[in-house]
Amino acid sequence: MQGILTVTLVRATALGGWTGEPDPYVELTLYGAGGDASAGQPGARNAKGGFAAAQHRQASREARPLCTADASLMLADSVSNTIWNEANPRFNEKFDFAMIPAGAVLLATVKDRTSTFEKIASLKITDRFKSVTLGRVKVPLMEVAAAGRLRGSWPLQGALEGQLEMVLEWIDAGEADLTQD
CA–centroid distance for 61 within its chain: 17
Look over the chain and give the mean of its residue pLDDT values, rounded to a whole number: 77
Predicted pLDDT at 93: 98
> What order of strands is seen across the sheet that includes strand 2-13?
45-46, 90-101, 2-13, 163-172, 149-155
Q: Is the CB of residue 30 less than 8 Å from the CB of residue 79?
A: no
| Three-state secondary structure call for residue 147 | helix
Q: pLDDT digits over 137-165, tens only? A: 999 999 999 999 999 999 999 988 899 99
pLDDT band at 50 (very low <50, low <70, confident <90, very high): very low
Q: What is the pTM for the complete model shown?
A: 0.74
Query: Is residue 54 scored above 70 in pLDDT?
Result: no
What are 11's strand-pairing partners? 90, 165
First-to-last C-alpha distance (Å) of the chain: 20
Q: pLDDT digits over 64-100, tens only? A: 444 444 444 899 999 999 999 899 999 999 999 999 9
In the chain, where does DSSP find H-type helix?
A: 52-59, 116-121, 141-147, 173-179
Predicted pLDDT at 80: 97
Give the homologous superfamily in CATH for domain 2-179.
C2 domain (2.60.40.150)
Q: pLDDT digits over 98-141, tens only? A: 999 999 999 999 999 876 565 556 655 555 557 889 999 999 99
Query: Is residue 34 scored above 70 in pLDDT?
Result: no
Residue 63, classified by CB atoms within 10 Å of its CB into exposed (0-12), middle (13-18) or buried (19+), is exposed
